[in-house]
Structure 1
Amino acid sequence: MKQVTELNCGAIVLSCALDHRIADGFSLNMFLVAWAEYARIKKISRIPSFCRSILNPRRPPQYDIIFDNLYLPISSLRLPPPPVLEDELLSRI
């Protein structure tokens, strides 16, 4: 969702909301920078790339057995003791 608001002084405010399934914050920032440069009649410093091939791996992933020692199964962990509540919790809102 995008919204443009024009101010009395002639400036504008651009607001954007994005869905992270479509783009990330870095991509949104690149869009806003390019849009601002275009609005100032400047040359766009970083042209966006829509080449999907950059997401393809160059070689298949490799698995090393050293990673086996980094993780524990959840079933091997002990449960923490239940918290001791002295007083009832109060909402401070």
Structure 2
Amino acid sequence: MHQILQAYQNHLFSKLREAGEMADMNPTPMLWKLSSLSCWMISSSNWSSYALIWGCLPTMFIDLFVDLSIPRQSAIKVIAAIHNNFIQKA
């Protein structure tokens, strides 16, 4: 499960970096904030990972893409594709 979450994080972060370049903005502060969230670490006492699966992070990532001047509909499509791939592997 950790490998799946790591792949999910890496893919989303690479898309945020691309969006930042396209918007001529530095996404590093957003990436730091997101990478510090506890839901990236899986343990028996960490139920925040459950929130990842049910949409907490996908919603947050959509908002970040919009902040980087990416149209909401485009952001939703990117996040939905990544999220659906993650759900199928989990």
Q: TM-score range by the shorter chain?
A: under 0.3
Could you say which structure has the larger radius of gyration?
Answer: 1
| Larger RCO, structures 1/2 (Cα 8 Å, 6+ apart) | 2
User: Scaled by the length of structure 2, what TM-score is found?
Assistant: 0.27
| Bigger strand fraction | 1
| Bigger helix fraction | 2
User: Scaled by the length of structure 1, what TM-score is found?
Assistant: 0.26
